[in-house]
């Protein structure tokens, strides 16, 4: 299936994840660039839209969208992307490297709420959502430490152990979807 990864990342974890997925699927990748790059303004929901994509989304049978979660919501650049391109997408997969753990996925800031928001926004297009909580790369004693996971970003050194198991299953799942 001809696939492309579109991603937005502020601190680098979702950039790392998106590039890894594109490499493993041997597919194209493009960064989503909001016209306003200030995280504060985005959090305040100030919205000037995203810059035009370089790739033509209609050329792909499947779109993998990758980006962070802030304040329990689908962030502005990702929301703009879905609103603008949903009608041109056949099959959408959403992936996030986020702060919320699997235990807390249904809480106020949990990733499941964002998965539901995305599924509502994209209608029948979204076939799969997957979370890679940053705590997966932290030692046990830091897994509940919010300061530690705000300071931790995915990279080649910490992408090992539990996160690789989940990631490998994810790649296998989407290869057979
Ligand atoms: C202002 C802010 C709010 C956040 N809110 C949430 C949240 O509600 N739920 C969550 O799972 N993670 C939350 N996070 C954690 C980010 O999703 C996580 O750090 C992510 O890996 C950052 O991705 P990036 O490195 O690609 O920018 C928040 C991070 C920031 C900076």
Percent of the chain residues topping a pLDDT of 70:
100
Average pLDDT, integer, range 14-22: 98
Rounded to an integer, what distance in angstroms lies between the CA atom of residue 154 and that of residue 66? 14
Domains of the chain as residue ranges with CATH: 3-176 (3.40.50.360)
Residue 68 Cβ contacting ligand 1 at under 6 Å: yes
pTM: 0.97
DSSP letters, the chain, are: --EEEEE--SSSHHHHHHHHHHHHHT-EEEE--BS---HHHHHTT----BPPPSS-GGG-SEEEEE--EETTEE-HHHHHHHHHHGGG-S-EEEEE--S--STTTTSTT-HHHHHHHHHHHHGGGEEEEEE--GGGGS-GGGTT-HHHHHH----TTT--THHHHHHHHHHHHHHH-
Closest ligand 1 atom number to CA of residue 10:
27
Q: Tell whether the model's pLDDT for residue 162 goes beyond 80.
A: yes
Position 152 scores a pLDDT of 96
Whole-number Å distance, alpha carbon 159 to ligand 1 midpoint, is 18
CB-based contact 98:130 (threshold 8 Å)? no
Rounded to an integer, what distance in angstroms lies between the CA atom of residue 6 and that of residue 28? 9
Position 177 scores a pLDDT of 76
Residue 10 Cβ contacting ligand 1 at under 6 Å: yes
Which of 63, 69, 117 lies closest to 90, judged by CA?
Answer: 63
Position 25 scores a pLDDT of 97
Position 149 scores a pLDDT of 86
Mutational test site, ligand 1, from 12, 70, 110, 158, max ligand atoms within 8 Å of CB: 70
pLDDT of 94-147, one tens digit each?
Answer: 999 999 999 999 999 999 999 999 999 999 999 999 999 999 999 999 988 989
Q: Tell whether the model's pLDDT for residue 176 goes beyond 90.
A: no
Position 144 scores a pLDDT of 86
pLDDT of 88-104, one tens digit each?
Answer: 999 999 999 999 999 99
Rounded to an integer, what distance in angstroms lies between the CA atom of residue 131 and that of residue 163? 10
């Amino acid at each position: 299936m001809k696939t492309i990864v579109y991603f937005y990342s502020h601190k680098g974890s979702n950039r790392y994840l998106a590039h890894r997925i594109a490499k493993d699927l041997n597919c194209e990748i493009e960064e989503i660039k909001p016209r306003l790059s200030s995280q504060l303004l985005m959090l305040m929901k100030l919205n000037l839209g995203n810059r035009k994509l370089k790739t033509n989304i209609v050329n792909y049978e499947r779109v993998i969208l990758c980006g962070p979660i802030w304040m329990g919501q689908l962030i502005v650049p990702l929301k703009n992307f879905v609103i603008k391109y949903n009608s041109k997408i056949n099959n959408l997969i959403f992936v996030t490297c986020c702060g919320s753990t699997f235990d807390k996925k249904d809480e106020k800031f949990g990733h499941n709420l964002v998965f539901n928001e995305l599924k509502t926004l994209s209608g029948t297009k979204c076939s799969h959502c997957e979370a890679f909580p940053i705590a997966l790369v932290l030692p046990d004693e830091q897994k509940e430490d919010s300061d530690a996971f705000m300071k931790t970003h995915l990279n080649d050194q910490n992408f090992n152990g539990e996160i690789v198991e989940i990631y490998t299953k994810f790649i296998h799942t989407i290869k057979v979807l």
